[in-house]
Structure 1
């Protein structure tokens, strides 16, 4: 991301007259862990695809950035594995939760990917998007309630490592979704649960997402406003997926503290 001041685009204003809460995805919106996840997924799938090509005698077609955006980003880990494998005409047994990362099953690959993620996280640490942190601070100062909604089962650890726990009133992550039996994005259920925990009607809540699956979840949940945060990928792809607007820098989003019934 360039270090210069971001260009000013069409104004996006979040006003307390219109909304009471903001629901943020974590990876790629608030923290720079999306690139850590992407690297872990590529390491996982390239090794698996190369081994499969050797066994089958077919060509090796590596995992691409487009594969990550289309099939994996924003989805629960096991859903991402199933979705990507299906895109290549491949299937694996589900396996059991007790299996280790060496197992050639969906759950085994999930364990392997999680190990790669933690290795990379330890090497790189947790970076944050300062524009997102600044927006969170402005929203909370204006009286908005905030929640983090993430497919990641590592959400709590990432928030703690980045020192961001105090910026959220609620957290609905992969652990909570599993405990409650909630389907992951693009289903809207995790966002709906976050709004319920905040005590806010969906039409009074804003969703901020960088993944097409997350944007689709916000649209399917009939939330009041869906902001697509484009960190990578083609321009307007998130709008085509269902976002009301697409921004590249959250520092450009303005906050109006005036609540309903306020005239000035």
Structure 2
């Protein structure tokens, strides 16, 4: 029997992750991370080689520098943290993170980005229903991505990597960012919905008290998303659309 999915129009508010949920920027991030880590691993003779499994386990959904640190620790590599102003060429946690960000920004400005069609349809439906919407993203590029995708105006709240740094919010999977998103949107997590594709993000939303956490399986795996705390799993946000011919609500 098909899984019963939540009606997001009944939610007090909905908070979305960005990369991999609203826009396919997760793919751009993945390519940028791979290019950077392939270079670092080759330069330092690190084994085993970097894989997509490393991305999902150590990088996906986390703040940039935390992702670098987690990945290198998985190979028993310790390097100085450095400073957020480190040049991309510097071999520090911050330098490597800034190297990745430069690669991502170049790709975004060169190629642009468009939202997933199903995601765009859903946020339009929620806007028309008057449901408050926000974005909770570890990326410091979130505002630029939202503007590039033409969807910034759908969201009254954006809690991103810059806000997290300013307000000393711990990286996902800690609950801080989703908790801050609920406060900023002025909604109760227990009556609201979080939508995430990253294991760390699902865990963050669950820990923040969201009773409904929708995992979007873009590669992390449905079982892993459920184990992290997802109450529902879909492969695209168009699964959450309510169409007139299937909506049996009484006015």
**TM-score (norm. length: structure 1):** 0.88
Secondary structure in 2 matching 1:63: coil
Counterpart secondary structure, 2:210: coil
Aligned to 1:4: none
Name the count of aligned residue pairs: 247
- Structure 1 CA distance for aligned equivalents of residues 221 and 20 of structure 2: 15
Provide the rounded CA distance (Å) in 1 between the counterparts of 2:5 and 2:151: 24
| 1:9 positional shift | 4.4
> Residue 182 of structure 1 aligns to a residue in which SS?
coil
- What is aligned with 1:249? 236
Q: Secondary structure at the match of 1:226?
A: strand
Contact (CA 8 Å) 1:208, 1:229: kept in 2 or not?
Answer: yes
CA contact (8 A) 1:11 1:252 kept: no
TM-score normalized with structure 2 length: 0.93
Cα RMSD over matched residues? Answer: 1.9
How much has 1:75 moved relative to structure 2? 0.1
Q: 1:142 aligns with which of 118, 129, 145?
A: 129
Moved more, 137-146 or 116-125: 116-125
The one of 144, 154, 167 equivalent to 1:157 is 144
Q: What is the CA-CA distance between 1:110 and the residue it aligns to?
A: 1.1
| Larger RCO (CA within 8 A; separation ≥ 6) | 1
Q: Counterparts of 1:210 and 1:109 in 2: how far apart (Å)?
A: 24
**8 A Cα contact 2:122 2:240, kept in partner:** yes
Measured after TM superposition, the shift of residue 234 of structure 1 is 3.0
1:13 to 6, 25, 38: 6
* Residue ranges of structure 1 left out of the alignment (5+ in a row): 1-7, 54-58, 257-261
Extract unaligned runs of 5+ from structure 2.
244-248
- The answer to whether 1:206 aligns with 2:225 is no
Q: Secondary structure at the match of 1:236?
A: helix
